[in-house]
Amino acid sequence: MTATAPIHPLLVPDAATDHVLGPATARLTLVEYGDFECPSCGQAHPAVKILRDRFGSQVRFVFRHFPLREVHPHAELAAEAAEAAGAQGQFWAFHDLLFAHQQHLGAAHLQSYAEQLGLDIPRFENELRDHVYLQRVQEQMQGAVALRVRATPTFFLNGEFCDVSFGLAHLQQRIEKALGAA
């Protein structure tokens, strides 16, 4: 991985639409395309949290939606709900609740999670009913398709695909190597 390699424009975080943890000055940017109903994403979630804790401000983390609607019938609505929660400043808390309760992503469950977080429930319900955030979710999906994302989770570290099909230890090694080289 070279520090001067250009990063695909779709992998540059957008402050207006992306959910980002970590400073813009971080040495590395990790982008995940995920699906709240995907068991592999659920397994990766705690590992990503450990990596974020371990590398702190050296790594900026971006989560983007790639609901696999054909196999995960609740994933797209869950992504919309996370965006609705994000509009009320609670994306990451809602994100964590969805991964903690992957088997319970029906509309009633989503409302229950919104209530747990103290969201404005009428606003949340209206935004879900009107699919206010569906376009954003679909735009992230289109971006993923353009990047040839086929499965979840898919990670890009500083714009380069990182294969985690054999576990997230490879991702940790790539981060450590990139930080050592930078």
Q: Residue 2: what pLDDT?
A: 45
Ramachandran class of 55: left when φ > 0, alpha when ψ lies in -120 to 50, beta otherwise: alpha
- For each of the chain's 182 residues, which pLDDT tens digit applies? 445 568 899 999 998 999 999 999 999 999 999 999 999 999 999 999 999 999 999 999 999 999 999 999 999 999 999 999 999 999 999 999 999 999 999 999 999 999 999 999 999 999 999 999 999 999 999 999 999 999 999 999 999 999 998 888 999 999 999 999 75
- Phi and psi at 38, nearest 5°, equal -80, 120
**pTM summary value:** 0.94
CA 37 – CA 49 distance, rounded (Å): 18
Q: Residue 93 to residues 10, 53, 86, 163: CA-CA distances in angstroms?
A: 25, 16, 9, 27
- The packing angle between helices 107-116 and 75-87, to 10°, is 30
pLDDT per position as a tens digit, 134-182 = 999 999 999 999 999 999 999 999 999 999 988 889 999 999 999 997 5
CA proximity to 79, closest of 64, 101, 100: 64
Q: What ranges do the domains of the chain cover?
A: 14-181
User: At the fourth CATH level, which superfamily is domain 14-181?
Assistant: Glutaredoxin (3.40.30.10)
